[in-house]
Amino acid sequence: MNLTYFLFFICIVICTLIITHWAAQHTKTTYQYYTAAGSLTGIQNGMAIAGDFISAASFLGIVGTIALNGYDGFFYSIGFLVSYLIVLFFIAEPVHHLGKYSLGDVICARFPSDKIRMMMAVGAFVISILYMIPQLVASGLLIRLLLDIDYSTSVVIIGSLMTIYVVFGGMYATSWVQIVKTVLLMSGTFLLALIVLSRFNWSISALVGQVKIGTPLADQFFLPGNMLSNPVEAISLHLALLFGTAGLPHILIRFYTVKNVKEVRRSLVTASWIIGLFYVITLVLGMGTVAFIGWDQLVVADPTGNLAAPLLAEALGGDFLLACISAIAFTTIVAVVAGLVISATTAFSHDIYHHIIKKGRATEKEQLRAAQWTALGVGITATLFALGLKNINVTFLVSLTFIVAASSNLPVLLFTIYWKRFNQTGVIVGMASGLIASMMLLLFGPHMMNLDGGWIHGEALFPLSNPGIIAIPIGFLGAFAGTMLSREKSQSNNTYAAFFIKAQTGIDTRRDGA
């Protein structure tokens, strides 16, 4: 065990536990537990959103993808950034106006129904767990690499830490861990990028020239087609990335942590600038990896490219810089997982326990206790799954998360807010068709059937690794067909008009205020 790595790891753990202890003093009600009592500023929330969104796949994966595949790797990251425009223009403000704690609140503001609330909660729970598993697997592998600790022990450590953050600190602790992570991540990666550029006397052309020498792709490194040679596959992937963010529960519930829509907009603008700058930095780091380590050596050290950033840090600054970057990667994983746990916790304890089981009559103390027990259960569940998925290709889980969100949550959210004819049947059919289609297409696709660790050996029944181009339209068509074919009466013009006004302005024009 390297002492430098161990000290950095312990420092991060102590700092985050201090934040959790402080947050626990401010978490006495469900409003504080679920939304930090709406106390964050737009800039703080924007930093937390960026911390919630930039996962291990972004920090570790994108740098390696750029190093191995050039242009296509960077093009991959653009989809993550542009997706925030859809959230900003169509989703963010209505979610803030209509909901209180969860996405179920948003849909039920128009269609009050236990069935719909249950379905939205299940969707949020599934998406959160699926996104959580690869983060925990990555953390286990990272800690095993750095501290020479058994993989299972590593996963249990991370799972225990993120459960403690949410059980005791709720959204307060989660938000501030994410803010600290964003500061550390941007500072560390920016410093690493500056070191790369300084070695070439701040000349981009000199760096580009060395990259062409260091990769067998040569000039093709800066052209498309190295990774996504199939145009249908490329379009399908970017549809999932573009639309998936607008349906991710752990991102959307962050709009409840600020007090008004001005701060919601400020949150998204802040997050977009941070995320955009981060992906520009990853471009420099990806090219720096090729220039200093070389394509061939990277493939030998790690064919997946996930160790590109740590290897570059070691090449440029030895053990100290490697320990620093690895500690940042660890903080990245912890922050994202904590955000996912609070999302899954809210879906179960608020939507299912409070509204469905207790019929909305649970006391404040009962709701808070249920949330804490749910957080514990979610943490244990995700940890157990991660322990069993050590050797499986987990890339499909990240893809699955975005595809499921874009196929199920997004059609229902958009139609609920913007389509007057939409009804409860459309909600149920849209959610069910999008969820089932996205999961079945991935289960019987190349990721799960004919790769190492696949659950069935043999040729894939569905050829696309990224089935978003099929699954997303199925979700929208399901919601449309369910609405048009049902005999359910449409809401009156006045009822929908009042709902739409509230969604866009926050003003409730209904006399009963319901």
CA atoms within 13 A on the CB side of 484: 6
pLDDT the model gives residue 449:
61
Is 425 strand, coil or helix?
A: helix
Tokens of 107: 């849909």
Give the pLDDT band of residue 448 (cuts 50, 70, 90).
Answer: low
Tokens of 439: 């999961």
Lowest mean pLDDT among 218-227, 347-356, 469-478: 218-227
Lowest mean pLDDT among 43-52, 258-267, 312-321, 331-340: 331-340
Whole-prediction pTM: 0.89
pLDDT the model gives residue 452:
47
Give how far the C-alpha of residue 231 lies from the chain's centroid of Cα atoms, to the nearest Å: 25
Tokens of 355: 């509204």
pLDDT at 454 over 60: no
Task: Tell me if 119 sits within 8 A of 428, measured CB to CB.
Answer: yes
């990555």: which residue's tokens?
Answer: 138
Tokens of 284: 């420099």
Task: Tell me if 52 sits within 8 A of 331, measured CB to CB.
Answer: no
Task: Tell me if 275 sits within 8 A of 80, measured CB to CB.
Answer: yes
DSSP classification of residue 427: H
Q: What span, in angstroms and rounded, lies between the C-alpha atoms of 444 and 440? A: 6
Q: Choose among 182, 170, 165, 232: nearest CA to 13.
A: 165
Task: Tell me if 323 sits within 8 A of 331, measured CB to CB.
Answer: no
Q: What span, in angstroms and rounded, lies between the C-alpha atoms of 421 and 121? A: 24
Which helix (H) or strand (E) segment holds residue 253: the answer is: none
How would DSSP label each residue in 471-493? HHHHHHHHHHHHHHHS-PPPPPH
Tokens of 4: 């430098």
DSSP classification of residue 224: S
Tokens of 189: 């990666």
The 10s digit of each residue's pLDDT in 157-216 is 888 887 888 888 889 888 998 999 899 899 999 999 999 999 999 999 999 999 998 888
Q: What span, in angstroms and rounded, lies between the C-alpha atoms of 159 and 137? A: 10
Give me the percent of the chain exceeding a pLDDT of 90.
37
Phi, psi of 223 (to 5 degrees): -120, 155
Phi, psi of 40 (to 5 degrees): -80, 145
Tokens of 261: 């829509």
Q: What span, in angstroms and rounded, lies between the C-alpha atoms of 257 and 339? A: 13
pLDDT at 274 over 90: yes
Q: What is the mean pLDDT of residues 356-374?
A: 89
Of the two residues 221 and 61, the one the predictor is more confident about is 221
Q: H helices of 103-228, where? A: 103-108, 114-147, 151-198, 204-214
Q: What domains can be seen in the chain, in order of their start residue?
A: 3-391 (1.20.1730.10)
Of the two residues 3 and 97, the one the predictor is more confident about is 97
